Structures are given as structure tokens and as C-alpha cells.
A and B are shown apart, each in its own frame.
Chain A
Amino acid sequence: MNSRKIELVVGFFVALAIAAVLMLAFNVANKGITGEGETYDLYAKFDNIGGLKVRSAVKVGGVTVGRVTSIKLDDKDFTPVVTLTIAKQYTNFPETSSVSILTSGLLGEQYVGLQPGFSFDGIEPLKEGDFIEDTKSALVLEDLIGQFLFSKSKD
């Protein structure tokens, strides 16, 4: 086989590898809300975060607008503080917005649902570093069963 032909076949091989990388990058991996592009951080304190993990999605009405980028425990009042990194293209959520930890499906993974509140005069939009005051914790199945049994026993 002459060397021109070999170069051609090797070129084909390299092109195939590049095509595979592109497929993995654009078709398999998430193009990444928070992967690239500009973002801003919001914070929320929960009583209980359940099974929420770093990299869980933040959704508004089912649309992913950001991701959880860190979970820490506040060292004064011992409640978890969750950092929500939101893409810059989704701004102007009013201060009255609330966040809750929801589960997709019965056994699915947990995500943060952001419910935009009403905006009227005197209500400012959420900015970088703001805390979202109105939070609802994760539903813990054991607590739920406990409440159910407790209310049953009172009947």
C-alpha cells in the first residue's frame, strides 16, 4: 500500500474519532446550563433537603433554568444552605418567588422547583447573592408515614 493511501485511511480514522467526540459532546452530554455561559447565584435555606444532590436541576414550570452547585450546612442555625446557579438568560424572578424540593416521578431524582411570585411595585427582582426566603422542604416518606399513623391512632 502506498503512503498516500495510508494517509487517506488514517485521515478517515481521525475524522471518525472527531465525529465520535462531537457526538458524545452534543448528543450524549448535557450542553450544560451552568456548563458554560454566564450564570448568577441565588441561595435558599431549607429545613430538610432530602435526597437533593449537587448538580440537581433547578426548574421553573418544568424548564431547567439552572443547577444546584453546592450544599452546605449553616454553622449558626444548622440548616442546609443550597446554592442555585441560574443561567443569566433567566433573570428578573421577583423577590416573592418560592422554592420547593420536588421529586420527578415516584422514585425519580429530586430537583428544586422555583415558583415565580407576583411582582408589583416595591418588589425587586432577585439578584446575585440573594436569599430566597420562602422555601418548602423535601417530602420525607418516613415523616409522612409517621404523621399518617399518628392521625390514625387519634381516631
Chain B
Amino acid sequence: MNWLANLGAWVIEKIAATGRASQVLYGALVAVPRPIKNTPLVIRQMYVVGVQSLLIIVVSGLFIGMVMALQGYTILVDYGAEDSLGPMVALSLLRELGPVVTALLFAGRAGSALTAEIGLMKATEQLSSLEMMAIDPLRRVIAPRFWAGFICMPMLAVIFSAVGILGGHLVGVDWLGVDSGSYWSIMQSTVDFRADVLNGVIKSFVFAVIVTWIAVFKGYDCLPTSEGISKATTETVVHSSLTVLGLDFILTALMFGIE
């Protein structure tokens, strides 16, 4: 009988957590209609969340593009199809690696920082003090961070893909000697703006909502102790990575699966 009670407690706790998460999201979302007052806060968070993630995104994008060009070349050259290197690098970056790797890096670089920051605010009772002063912490603290993540991640994903394609050009064309003209022209004739580029951007908007939501919720909901904060930070990275990878399969199946 005991295990049945444990199961029930677990399910109730999960449902309650979902409810609290939705409350946080709702509180953050209704804070939009005050754009003028909140814009400086959002810009400050865009600096923390977006600009400071730029370096890791650019470096990873460059190296992933370079590795893909190198690996793709060794396989394609056996079939005399090394001219198809451009579309291979561009399509895999735009459709999959751009949104997904950016989301994973973003969860590790910015998501964990958001959780730790909000968690520490809670532990040091800064959130309660805000409430004492009749300032809604959801509007003042959570909303700018949520919107900054939502705006920044698609931009980071687009930069990641662009840098990756340039990295592929660096290795494929400048080092391995694929013709530069065919690298770009076959890429242009294969990649479609609406089907490939826009679908990738839509994907990264979905991932942005998921990762930022999990990050701010875990921070807002953590136990206000040092142990609780460390647990919440770990959970942010683990949960958002798993959700992104699982959701990516579903989105890919919906977007590219059926002709």
C-alpha cells in the first residue's frame, strides 16, 4: 500500500509543479503590456543572456561547421559528390544543429545562470522584499528575463548557423579544395528560405520558450537554501536539454517528415 501512496504523492507533486510553472509563465506574459517601462530591464537582460553568450555560440558554430565539412568531405569524396558539401553543411545546420545545439548551449550558459540568480534572490529574501514593497517579482524579475531569453535565442541560433556555414567554407573550400562557386551555388539551389531557414527559426523560438521557462521557473520555485539552488541549477540544465531533444524529434517529424 505504501508504494501506491508514494506514486500518488509523486503524481500530485508533478501536477502541482506544472500548475506553479504555468502561474509563473502567466505572470511573466501579462507583464508585456507595459513596454516602455520594462524595455530598459529587458535590454539589460538581453545583455546578460544574449551578448554574453555570443562568444560561446560563435566559437561552437565555427568549429561544428568546420568538423561537418571535414567529415562530410571524407564521405562525399568517395562518390565524387564533394560539390554537395555546401548543401549538406547548410541544411544540417539550418534544420537541426543550429536550433538544437544553440538551445543546449543556451541552457548551460544562460539558463543555469538565470536559475542560480533567481534562486539566490529567493534565498536572500529579495523576492519577498519586493512583494513587501508591492512590486510583483514576476513582473519585475521574471518577465524581463523570460522575454530576453525568448528574443535572444533565435538570434543566437541564426548567428550559429551563419558562422557554421562560413566555418564549413573555411575547411571545405580553403583547405580541402572544393570549388567555392559550387559550394555556394548548389547550396543556393537546394536551400529554400521558407522550408529550411524559417522552419529552423520557428524551432528555435519554441526551444527559447521551453529553455527560458524552465530556467526561470526552477529558480523561482527552488528551495531557498544553498542545496536547493544547486539542485535547481542542475535540474534546469538536465530538464531543458532532455525537453529540447525530445521536442526536436516531434517538431522535425511535423516540419520535414511528411511530404
* Residues of A participating in the B interface, judged by any CB pair closer than 8 Å: 3, 6-7, 9-10, 12-14, 16-17, 19-21, 23-25, 27-32, 35, 54-55, 57, 64, 107
Contacting pair A16 B79 (CB below 8 A):
no
Contacts of B155 in A (CB 8 A): 13-14, 16-17, 20
Contacts of B96 in A (CB 8 A): none
Show 21 residue pairs from A and B whose CB-CB distance is below 8 angstroms, ordered by the A residue: A3-B44, A10-B47, A10-B50, A13-B155, A19-B162, A20-B155, A20-B158, A20-B159, A20-B161, A23-B162, A24-B197, A25-B197, A28-B90, A28-B94, A28-B188, A30-B188, A30-B191, A32-B193, A35-B194, A107-B79, A107-B81
Interface string of B182-200 (1 = CB under 8 A from A): 0010011111111011000
Complex: how many Å from CA A17 to CA B191? 19
Contacting pair B44 A27 (CB below 8 A):
no
Q: Which 10 residue pairs are nearest across A and B when measured between Cβ atoms? A: A17-B155, A29-B193, A20-B162, A20-B158, A20-B159, A29-B191, A6-B47, A13-B51, A10-B46, A30-B188
Contacting pair B40 A35 (CB below 8 A):
no
Complex: how many Å from CA A27 to CA B189? 11
* Residues of B participating in the A interface, judged by any CB pair closer than 8 Å: 40, 43-44, 46-47, 50-51, 54, 79, 81, 90, 94, 152, 155-156, 158-159, 161-163, 165, 184, 187-194, 196-197, 259
Complex: how many Å from CA A21 to CA B51? 17
A14 to chain B minimum Cβ distance, whole angstroms, is 7
B254 to chain A minimum Cβ distance, whole angstroms, is 18
